[in-house]
Amino acid sequence: MQVIILEDPEQVAQHASQWVLELIAKKAKPVLGLATGSTPINLYKKLVKSHQEDQIDFSHVTSFNLDEYHNIDADNAQSYRSFMKENLFDEINIDQKNTYLPTCYQNENPRRQGLAFEEKIQHAGGIDLQILGIGANGHIGFNEPSSSLSSRTRLKTLTQQTLKDNSRLFKADEYQPTMAMTMGISTILDARYVLLMATGKNKAKAVNEMITGALSAKCPASALQLHEHAIVVLDKAAASELTHQEYYIWADKEHQKINQTYGFFL
Ligand code: F6R
């Protein structure tokens, strides 16, 4: 894992945006894996700014989101489609026909829907760069603790902790879905590069477990230890419980020289 420790959430977003911008500049048909939640919002703001101020073109980009609530209409304000439209899709020139979320409605078979989503990813040529956040319980996507490390896109029941963590986003009288379709851990590991962002003290324990803990379904994010190109970008608060911080800071300085010369991607 390449662990990058930066000062604050602003720098984390700035760094992540450099990866995305390099990818879309380098590849004729880049495929981005996207996440929702609070963490990537600043990254999306940077991408919108790059489009509006520097005329960065997103028309050739295809995207796949990690997850979507079960049986929620796209135009429901709480759907992840709405989140992505508000924070990114409506603000850049991506062709929204090429933006995919793993939906599943009441009368659809979640297994079929999961398989169809996996096939769409394959058809697009696979995900080049998957953006991830991490739950306080170590989840990635909605792969909650105990998720199979070989899992693929499927329907998951959210844990009480995740429901509590996300309840801040729902009004008191608003229905909060308890199930979601999510890319599986294997689906995420198939991406050519994965970039996980974590900010804030409440992520520090999960971050340490992901990087230095045992590879275990107890902390689904620990599966990234198996990935050839996993980049973890942290602010100081999220890195605060990480052992060997000095090593990561030193190693990152060495990497920076390589990145400046050759770029991030192969
Ligand atoms: C979102 C997702 C989740 C979040 C995680 C962190 O699509 O898949 O795994 O990345 O719950 O959420 P925030 O960023 O709100 O702390």
Structure confidence at residue 37 as a pLDDT band (50, 70, 90):
very high
Pocket test residue of 82, 137, 139, 219 for ligand 1, highest count of atoms within 8 A of CB? 139
Higher pLDDT, 223 or 165: 223
pLDDT at 214 over 90: yes
Residue type, 215: L
pLDDT band at 198 (very low <50, low <70, confident <90, very high): very high
Residue 162 region, left (φ>0) first, then alpha (ψ -120 to 50), else beta? alpha
Over residues 229-258, the pLDDT tens digits come to 999 999 999 999 999 899 999 999 989 999
Summarize pLDDT for 154-183 with one digit per residue, the tens.
Answer: 999 999 988 998 999 999 889 899 999 999
Instruction: State in Å: Cα 144 to ligand 1 middle.
Output: 11
Counting ligand 1 atoms within 8 A of each CB, the residue from 32, 79, 142 with the most, and so the one to mutate, is: 142
Q: State in Å: Cα 69 to ligand 1 middle.
A: 13
Q: Which member of 128, 144, 190, 235 is catalytic?
A: 144
Query: Is the CB–ligand 1 distance for residue 67 below 6 Å?
Result: yes
- Domains along the chain with CATH numbers: 2-262 (3.40.50.1360)
Secondary structure of the chain in the HEC alphabet? CEEEEECCHHHHHHHHHHHHHHHHHHCCCCEEEECCCCCCHHHHHHHHHHHHHHCCCCCCCEEEECEEECCCCCCCCCCHHHHHHHHCHHHCCCCHHHEECCCCCCCCCHHHHHHHHHHHHHHCCCCCEEEECCCCCCCECCECCCCCCCCCCEEEECCHHHHHHHHHHCCCCCCCCCEEEECCHHHHHCCCEEEEEECCHHHHHHHHHHHHCCCECCEHHHHHHHCCCEEEEEECCCCCCCCCHHHHHHHHHHHHHHHHHHCCCC
Phi-psi region of 134 (alpha: psi -120 to 50; beta: other; left: phi over 0): beta
Query: What is the per-residue pLDDT for 200?
Result: 98
Average pLDDT, the chain: 96
Residue 176: per-residue pLDDT: 92
Cβ–ligand 1 distance for 37 under 6 Å, the answer yes
Indicate the pairing of strand 62-65 with strand 31-34.
Answer: parallel
Residue 251: per-residue pLDDT:
93
Model confidence at 131: pLDDT above 90: yes
Would you say residue 266 has pLDDT above 90? no
Atom of ligand 1 nearest to the CA of 203: 16
Answer yes or no: is pLDDT of 120 > 90: yes
pLDDT at 83: 97
In this structure, is the dihedral angle defined by the CA atoms of residues 8, 10, 16 and 18, taken in order, positive or negative? negative
Q: How far is the CA of 50 from the centre of ligand 1 (A)?
A: 24
Ligand 1 pocket: which of 36, 142, 147, 194 to mutate (most atoms within 8 A of CB): 36
The answer, yes or no, to whether residue 103 has pLDDT greater than 90, is yes
Nearest to 162 by CA among 146, 185, 186: 146
